[in-house]
Structure 1
Amino acid sequence: MKIIKTEYDKIKPYITKDGSIIRELLHPNIYKGVKQSLAEAIVPVGSKTLLHKHYTSEEIYYILEGRGLMTLDNEKFEVKKGDTIYIPPKTPHKIENIGNVPLKILCCSYPPYSHEDTEILE
């Protein structure tokens, strides 16, 4: 068995098409044999992601810190630390930071996140 372990401080963040700050904790483009992606997303205070959808990927968001206003298709609802949200493929979604600390989200995606699978809707 090959051990795959990442170190947070060595992972360079980048900005995705939807505008969130991402750290890819595990992704098959980096670690062969991994079939899903796991990332930390940060939405700064007063910011939001752009409304978007993924054609093939389903996502799971786990709120690590902060409060947000989640848009999932035609529904809007508040989320907070400890909440988990399932986002089916082809579902328009975005999240807005409505708290006073950065909104931190653990994002699991299968198939793995890719810019090509993401369509911005606004």
Structure 2
Amino acid sequence: MEIRKHAEQTPFTTKDGSTIRSLLDLSNAPVRNQSLAEATLLPGAETERHYHRLSEEFYYLLEGRGRMEIDGLETDVEPGDAILIPPGAWHQIRATEAMRFLCCCAPPYAHGDTYFA
């Protein structure tokens, strides 16, 4: 059985600029096919526009509001929204309020699979 406590996972800043707390991923569990992390952005902050060649990604908003862009299409997002980011899709999220959301990646998130313009 693998259980990780939120408070015991150390936050870090990813290549795209968001603050991440890995909940279950290659760094802390015998994960094979996916990863789960919590991301936070302060009001006015945004991730750097990027894509992942391999990983399909889901965002699930827990708190705050913002603006999501995927391949040039933008929409407002709020708590309860689940967002699909296909592999190869350019994306960026911007917080209009302090934001907290879950990031699920399959295959697991890897810095080496994050690409910028």
Alignment TM class, shorter chain as reference: over 0.9
Which residue, out of 99, 102, 105, partners 2:101?
A: 105
Matched residue, 2:52? 54
Partner Cα separation in structure 2 for residue 30 and residue 9 of structure 1: 14
Equivalent positions of 1:19-38 (< 5 A) are 19-38=17-36
Calculate the TM-score normalised by the size of structure 2. Answer: 0.96
8 Å Cα contact 1:26-1:34 kept in structure 2: no
Partner Cα separation in structure 2 for residue 30 and residue 21 of structure 1: 17
Partner Cα separation in structure 2 for residue 70 and residue 97 of structure 1: 9
Matched residue, 1:45? 43
8 Å Cα contact 1:19-1:50 kept in structure 2: yes
Matched residue, 1:13? 11
Specify the structure having the higher radius of gyration (Cα).
1
Calculate the TM-score normalised by the size of structure 1. Answer: 0.92
Residue 32 of structure 1, CA deviation:
1.3
Higher strand share: 1
Residue 35 of structure 1, CA deviation:
2.3
Cα separation, partners in 2 of 1:33 and 1:49, compared to 1, 3 Å: closer
Unaligned runs of 5+ in 1: none
Partner Cα separation in structure 1 for residue 4 and residue 64 of structure 2: 24
Query: Cα RMSD (Å) of the superposition?
Result: 0.9
Q: Does 1:74 align with 2:72?
A: yes
SS in 2 for 1:52: coil
Aligned length: 117
